[in-house]
Amino acid sequence: MSVLIFIDTSEGHVKKASLEAMTYGTKVAEQLGTTAEGVVLGTTNEDLAALGKYGVKKIHHVNNPSLDHLDAQVYTKAIGEIATKTGAKVIVFSNNVDGKAIAPRLSARLKAGLVSGAVALPDTSKGFTVKKNVFSGKAFANVSLTTDVKIISLNPNAYQTVAGEGTAEVVTTDAAVDAPKVKVTAVNKVSGEVPLTEAEIVVSAGRGLKGPENWGIVEDLAKALHAATACSRPVADAHWRPHNEHVGQTGTAIAPTLYIAIGISGAIQHLAGVNRSKVIVVINKDPEAPFFKAADYGIVGDAFEVVPKMTEAVKKIKG
């Protein structure tokens, strides 16, 4: 019996969300009195043994270049085989794009109960109950898993990464790998210093900026905070900003530590994608803007006056 954690990689490097999953999975293993192990698919540039500092004792590496790009069916079969061989009773994913594609398939393959979007450690005092977000983050549900094998996908930024000491035993395994049916012909990388889904701080703006020519004040604040930039749907639809920056129910759902919304009214569709943010700061000249009801802090004022002053204050504090 063990806890198996899927360690997701991109271009050979471990994703931040996987560091959270390893920390989380290690704690689950401690609760169950067992050990945490990881699985890595494809070639990697990482020192896998060093990932032991996040608590995993052993890493199963399927070093096959055909796994360098996600094919959910192929990944599911490989992870399922390793889970069966290791006797894993709990399997942990990050609830990111890859995890959402693999976890449900693995659930069906292993006849395992699945909780997607977990936000806390399971309660093992009376069974196995996992807390998750429901209704676009407006409420929580406690879901009990009674199957022999259990699968949890952890919401990104829902659990703090903790690094300690230690190294992991790396075992190269020859899990059966089918020929991928998905062929990647090109990769168009999104520019930006911080990936939006992994950002701790996000600075976002809406139509209150009046036009793309005014986005410099948003980018200046984001740069000062080492934050990612985002926008509301109308801004992306108007081609002021690229669609990959669109956050909301119909865009990217995010859960940063700090979300700063500038000139965004706060329509329910936008809130659904950002309401898992730990702290929300709203800047809007309209005191009746709906977003203020969801904000932890609000500034009623003209963004063109407020934001540059915030940027200068941040730079002064950081020296």
Instruction: List the CATH number of the domain containing 164.
Output: 3.40.50.620
Can you give the pTM of this predicted structure?
0.86
Whether 249 is covered by a domain: the verdict is yes
Q: What is the predicted pLDDT for the residue at 191?
A: 64
Residue 72, by phi and psi: left (phi above 0), alpha (psi -120 to 50) or beta? alpha
CATH number at residue 283: 3.40.50.1220
Residue 246: the pLDDT is: 96
Which tokens go with 162? 């903790």
Is residue 137 in a domain? yes
Q: Torsion over CA of 173, 66, 5 and 54, rounded to 10 degrees?
A: 90
Residue 185 lies in a domain: no
- Would residue 161 count as lying in a domain? yes
For the chain, how many residues are written?
319
Total domain count for the chain? 2
**If pLDDT is split at 50, 70 and 90, which confidence band does 187 have?**
confident
Q: Check residue 247 and give its pLDDT.
A: 95
Over residues 147-178, the pLDDT tens digits come to 999 999 999 888 989 898 999 999 999 887 88
Q: At what angle do helices 72-86 and 97-110 cross, to 10 degrees?
A: 60
Residues 60 and 107 placed together within one structural domain of the fold? yes
Domain around 211? 196-318
Structure tokens at 309: 């002053």
Is residue 188 situated within a structural domain?
no
Q: What is the pLDDT averaged over residues 33-56?
A: 95
Q: What is the pLDDT of residues 66-93, one digit of tens each?
A: 898 899 999 999 999 999 999 999 999 9
Q: pLDDT by residue (tens digit) across 110-138?
A: 999 999 999 999 999 999 999 998 887 77
Is 155 in the same domain as 36? yes
254 and 128, same domain (yes or no): no
Tell whether the model's pLDDT for residue 193 goes beyond 70: no
